[in-house]
Amino acid sequence: MLNRRKLLQGVATGAGAALTLSLPGQSLLGAEASSGGTTPKRIIFFMQNQGFDPKTCVPEGMTSSGSLAGAKLPEPIEALEPFKDRLHIINGLHGTHTSPSHSAFFGALGGYRGGDGVPPSGSTIDYEISKVLPQTLLPHLCIGMDSIENMTTKPTLATLSASGAGQPIFMYSNPNQLYQMLYGGISTGDIRRQHEARSNVMNQIEQLVAAKGQALPAADQQRYGQYVQGFRDVNGLRDRLDTVSDHLRKFAPEVDERYTKPQFETDWHDVLLDLGISALTSGITNTLTIGSGRGEIFGAWKGLGIDQQGHNLGHMKQPENPIWIKIRQYNSRMLVRIMEALESVPEGSGTMMDHSLIVYTSNNADKQHTNGANWPVMLLGNLDGAFKTGCFTQLDGKRPINALFASLLRASGAACNRFNMNEQLAKKFDSKTGPLKEVLV
């Protein structure tokens, strides 16, 4: 028999990321941001598990920094060849302080020590970015891709993003749940009925926990207060999305059998990406985190003709490996889909892509069982001219991923010389102060 706490934990987990989201914004971003008339910006983080071997992204023969104009991209990322002028490949950052052996988990985006089952020790860069950029209805959206079994049994999971110490942010892995949250209010038929039923339940539970929490001992009232705020956020988001229903109809993806009858896990991966793109292009959010493998050591790509899955994939060398070529090519095609979708939407004097940045890397540095001495990263886009593009940068391995994160914050408008790294840690792990001058214009 479920007690009240377990019931609330289950419902709250199903609510997903809304437990940790703040939703101050009241308007969608259009051609101009709601404050100051400035062009809005957005950042997308794409994290592939099992590591990112530099030989799968650094053009052959490039050992020092230079232009990509005359280089040929490696086969795993060849889909990005037409976009080389918007690409920046960075090699030589490190994350030795994050202990990323199987995965750095929250530490990959937090720039601190992480581990399996270890709660976040601070906020992550994606959450901090979401606070700096102009506020939207849903400041930060996280989606996670895995095997069908894992996405079905664990539709939400928190391993990559956090709003603070001990405050994980959940990723949506079941596209049906995510569609309900974003577009249930504008749907018809079964989706609409399910949305209304779910909304009624959420309203009732908010009232229940608010009333019952007052009778609890003081030690439990704080926990109940978190649940109450979580349900208020969920219900408040639903109400705000309802106020812009006419706008959302233009961007809602078509629901087909990939949602309800997926043949492979990649069917769900594809529609999750569609939903993430629609949240960006509609202006619902300006910070999107994608976890392929959900920050863990699992993951499956049977839809690509790959039978192997999970931890075993991490024990395979990635360069010239047909399995990893397929996975990385699949990722690259996803990156192209994001860019083309943003490029298709006019914004200011250009398009949404002109004011966006995609950060592609791994939560596991360069490989499985790594010490994190090398952490390759690809950037796509320039965030309204803030980042250099069309180039390869080879660093000396003395600057941490935290320096890149500080660069992202600086380009987003926040003063930041160090991210999640105090002076004591910096003396050991960072050779300089401030953002990476090699990547900023």
- The answer, yes or no, to whether residue 237 has pLDDT greater than 80, is no
Domain residues of the chain, as ranges? 41-196+251-429
Q: Looking at beta carbons, which pairs linking 22-25 to residues 24 or more positions away fall under 8 Å?
A: 22/131, 22/139, 22/233, 23/137, 23/138, 23/139, 23/233, 23/236, 23/237, 23/240, 24/135, 25/134, 25/135, 25/136, 25/137, 25/139
In the block, residue with structure tokens 């250009």: 350
Mean predicted lDDT score pLDDT of the chain: 86
**Predicted confidence (pLDDT) per residue in 186-227, tens digit:** 755 665 555 554 555 445 555 555 555 555 566 565 555 555
| DSSP-assigned letter for residue 171 | E
What are the percentages of helix, strand and coil residues in the chain, rounded to 5? 45, 15, 40
Say which residues have a Cβ less than 8 Å from residue 317's Cβ, sequence separation at least 6: 53
Q: Is 251 helix (H, G, I), strand (E, B) or coil?
A: coil
What is the pLDDT at residue 391? 98
Six-digit token pair at 123? 């906020």
Structurally, what CATH architecture does the domain formed by 41-196+251-429 represent?
Answer: 3-Layer(aba) Sandwich (3.40)
| Residue 10 binned pLDDT confidence (cut-offs 50, 70, 90) | very low
Q: What is the pLDDT of residues 108-143, one digit of tens each?
A: 999 999 999 999 999 999 999 999 999 898 999 999
Predicted confidence at residue 36, as pLDDT, reads: 45
Closest CA to 40 of 345, 411, 379, 352: 352
- The pLDDT tens digits of the residues spanning 299-354 come to 999 999 999 998 889 999 999 999 999 999 999 999 999 999 999 999 999 999 99
Model pTM score = 0.86
